[in-house]
Amino acid sequence: MNQFEKNVVNKRSDIADAGVGFVVSFGFFATMFIIATVVQVIGR
């Protein structure tokens, strides 16, 4: 066992961080899709 495994600074679960990352990236791409759809509808 190395020194980093003995001295854990952050004991939070990685699943929570992965969930936040997924939600943020999904929100970003959903926002881009909505903006593109609005621009396409206005451009008609």
Tens digits of residue pLDDT in 12-30: 788 999 999 999 999 999 9
Cα separation, 21 vs 11, whole angstroms: 18
Query: Residue 38 carries which side chain, given as an amino acid letter?
Result: V
Residue type, 6: K
Phi and psi dihedrals of 13, rounded to 5? -75, 140
- Per-residue pLDDT band for 1 (boundaries 50, 70, 90) equals low
Average pLDDT of the residues of the chain: 90
Confidence of residue 8 (pLDDT cuts 50, 70, 90): confident
Answer left, alpha or beta for residue 33, where phi above 0 means left and psi between -120 and 50 means alpha.
alpha
> Which one-letter DSSP state was computed for residue 9?
S
Per the model's pLDDT, the better-predicted residue between 32 and 14 turns out to be 32
Q: What's the rounded Cα separation, in Å, for the pair 11 and 5?
A: 11
**Per-residue model confidence (pLDDT) at position 4:** 72
